[in-house]
Structure 1
Amino acid sequence: MSLLGGHQAMLPFALQMGLEDLTQEYADLTEKIVHGMDNLSSLREEEIIVGVTPKEAVYQEDKVTLYRFEPKVKKTLSVPLLIVYALVNRPFMVDLQEGRSLVANLLSLGLDVYLIDWGYPTRSDRWLTLDDYINGYINNCVDFLRDHYELDKINLLGVCQGGTFSLCYSSLYPEKVQNLITMVAPVNFDMPNTLLNARGGCTLGPEAIDVDLMVEALGNIPGDYLNIEFLMLKPLQLGYQKYLDLPEIMGSRDKLLNFLRMEKWIFDSPDQAGETYRQFLKDFYQENKLIKGEVMIGDSRVDLSNITMPVLNLYAEKDHLVPPSSSLALEEYISSEDYTAKSFPVGHIGMYVSGKVQRDLPPTIVDWLKVRE
């Protein structure tokens, strides 16, 4: 038999093996989907819970609510911690679920934790400005805590855009902030290699996006628009791949619940007050005024050199929304002599849900605060 003839003889066997493997893979996939559909059909909306830690509303103003989380230990640090989240998405990513909750871990380590929930802006909120959010809502929540605890200063933790807000607030009211923590917070917005910054206009300015026309046409900026914008930054990973992986996830009820919690958080996107969105896009993304000392909040100018209190700057090494260089720029512009930067080897969302980060991040925050009580 020739060598060629041998290969011809082997070909049907190889083809048969390939078809058998393919058939088995198809059968396995079908079984996973059928089992997954059983899991999916048995789930109820009330089981997909985010924001699991018990909390109490202690102050309300317009659509804004200040929550206090139920303490877990008898002896807490004497100065409360106020978390300021971004206006985009809901703030309960910091309290996503049992075992993956920054809030719960901070409580277990003895912090007294409060959180500002911005609520859902409606058409009547279209004219809210950064002045309303920073000189109004944030300042009123801080003053509530100062009065309640009879303190001159409280601790502030600003997350993402909330970190930028917290920087503005600490610049305007340094006498009210004892310690400032920023987490994945953008500072230098001139990041042309980052898609979010480029889309916002850090390189092209108004030519990238005519925010004036958008606000005048829409009033408030729809949350769905912002969601699509974020998803399009990683269209394959966030728009397709996670759903292609779904059959592998659906077979486990716990994994399926985790997946649906994330989906619920991602697509629970409040609209953005038009005037606030206008100023944030123009002043921060398109003109990079924060590091230039040119941002005006009401009648006051934000000067980052006014920040003299201790600062802990937390950032994600693989962040595609807020690149490390944007966050790390902070040290150059503040006047604090007590500045600490700490990185974690994850992406933006990993700062909230990564098991390793949940193990290491809360002690980092609490240990840093303890020596500055």
Structure 2
Amino acid sequence: MAESDPLSPEAVAERVRREVDRALKRNIKGLEFLAAPRQEVGAMEKELVHREGTALLYRYRPVVDEIYRLPLLIVSPPSNKGYIFDLAPGQSMVEYLLNRGYDVFNLDWAPPRRDEAHLGLADYVDRFIPDSLAKIAEITGEEEASLAGYCMGGTLATIHAALHAGNGVRNLVLFATPVDFTHMHLFQKWSDKRHFDVDEVVDKLGVIPPEIMLGAFDLARPANRTAGRMHLWTNMWNDEFVRSYRMFDRWAAETLPVPGEYFREQIKHLMWDNALASGTLEVGGRKADLANIAVPILNVVAQHDHIVSHEATQPLKLLTSSDDYEEIVSKGGHVSLVAGPSALKRLWPLIDGWLGKRSV
């Protein structure tokens, strides 16, 4: 039997030696992972230009001399921190947009205090978003802006646009935005009114802790955390993979609490009544009619989104009055639309192509 034969004693011994060596290196890397400080996030400089309660409005510092006339406001989901749009150089949607000449603002959120448990949908769509747009107009001198939103940030942007038609929003750009909540199947099961007493939860807790929100996401993919850890272990000596994993892991771990009243209305009006898609949602005594939205709409959907299905986004096409509607279905999952190197190559150039000619 030749020495190169994989079944020879010498080959078996060499294979065992390599596996032991890999296991030792993996353990060393694992200890480094556990002992490492939090992964730094954020690639681009920004300035806090307005604060109102839990709302934080940031402006990113332009990086090119010529910028588009229309500023861009990105609304974060109230349960998540906005740095998902700006994770790291090469994985930052904000960095990409700044380099393409956009004047980028982000409406982010601070954890609500106990005395802010009363904040509801009206506070977000009738106060925080309009006040942010007014501040942007004051800073830039432009009365119109493009309004974008991710996940529930997109839902809030949509409700705002339906309530405030013709009030300064020129374009609407939405990422993984649920509108028809009957197609949020796993969340429907999680919040089933036969078993879930939302009034009792809100009345007892006031501010809804992030563990409740994380529980809903874990229900969507019960084995996701375990599979992620196993994938991390397999790739432990890949420094770039580990760095990326730690950034996303930090973002997920820093899920925010949300005001109880906002949570109650989200469950009752959006999840149970499907009021936005059915045309019955009332906010501040006014009906949020999707037919009021006539501005250009770009609807960006993830093909393998386990949280917001393609069907959940379709009222944006069917029920709005926009005659300038475009949809992009991108490969990947819920987060890959707004973060990561893959979106830089295949998705964000398409968004730039659509938004650029509507921002002059």
Query: Does the TM-score normalized on the shorter chain lie above 0.5?
Result: yes
Match of 1:30 among 10, 18, 23: 23
Kindly indicate whether the alpha-carbon contact (under 8 Å) linking 1:36 and 1:247 is maintained by their aligned counterparts in 2: no
Q: Residue 329 of structure 1 corresponds to which residue in structure 2?
A: 315
For structure 2, which runs of at least 5 residues remain unmatched after alignment? 1-5
Report the equivalent of 1:71.
Answer: 62
SS of 2:258 mapped into structure 1: coil
Kept in 1: contact 2:90–2:340 (CA 8 A): no
Alignment size in residue pairs? 353
- Per the TM alignment, residue 360 of structure 1 is displaced from its structure 2 partner at its CA by 2.9
Q: How does 1:268-283 map to 2 (within 5 A)?
A: 268-283=254-269
**Secondary structure, aligned partner of 1:209:** coil
1:275-354 to structure 2, matched below 5 A, reads: 275-354=261-340
Alpha-carbon separation, structure 1, partners of 2:139 and 2:353: 24
Aligned mate of 2:126, from 135, 158, 176: 135
Asked if residue 359 in structure 1 is aligned to residue 345 in structure 2, the reply is: yes
Paired residue secondary structure (2:88): coil
Q: Is residue 207 from structure 1 mapped to residue 199 from structure 2 by the alignment? A: no
Q: Residue deviations 1:192-230, cap 9 Å, x none? A: 6x31233234xxxx1142211111121111102211221
1:242-293 per-residue CA deviation (whole Å, 9 max, x = no partner) reads: 1122323322333222211111110101111000000011111111000111
CA distance in 2, matches of 1:337, 1:247: 49
Shift of 1:35: 3.0
Q: Does 1:226 align with 2:213?
A: yes
C-alpha contact (below 8 Å) 2:299/2:328 kept by paired residues: yes
Over residues 78-99 of structure 1, what are the superposed CA-to-partner deviations in whole Å (9 max), with x where a residue is unaligned?
Answer: 0000001111221111111111
| Corresponding letter in the other structure for 2:174 | T
Aligned position for 1:7: none
Q: Which residue of 2 aligns with 1:160?
A: 151
Name the counterpart of 1:258: 244
**2:86 pairs with 1:100:** no
Secondary structure, aligned partner of 2:47: strand
Q: Mean alpha-carbon deviation: is it higher for 140-149 or for 108-117?
A: 140-149
Q: 1:208 to 1:191 in 2, by over 3 A?
A: farther
TM (normalized to structure 1)? 0.88
Structure 2 residue matching 1:182: 3-state secondary structure:
strand
| Structure 1: gaps spanning 5 or more residues | 1-12
Q: Is 1:91–2:94 an aligned residue pair?
A: no
Give the alignment's TM-score, normalised by structure 2: 0.91
User: Quick one: distance in 1 between partners of 2:50 and 2:328?
Assistant: 32
CA distance in 2, matches of 1:28, 1:191: 49
Distance 2:188 2:349 in 1: 31
Moved over 4 A (4+): 16-26
| Aligned equivalents of 2:333, 2:195: Cα separation in 1 | 26
Counting aligned pairs with the same residue, the percent is: 28
- The code of the aligned residue for 1:184 comes to A
More helix, by proportion: 1
Distance 1:187 1:65 in 2: 25
Equivalent in the alignment of 1:5: none
Of 184, 191, 204, 2:183 maps to 191
Measured at CA, do residues 135 and 37 of structure 1 come closer, stay the same or move farther in structure 2, by a change above 3 Å? same
Once the two structures are superposed, what CA deviation does each residue of 1:4-30 show, in whole Å capped at 9, x if it has no partner? xxxxxxxxx98x899869955751452
Residue in structure 2 matched with residue 150 of structure 1 by the alignment: 141
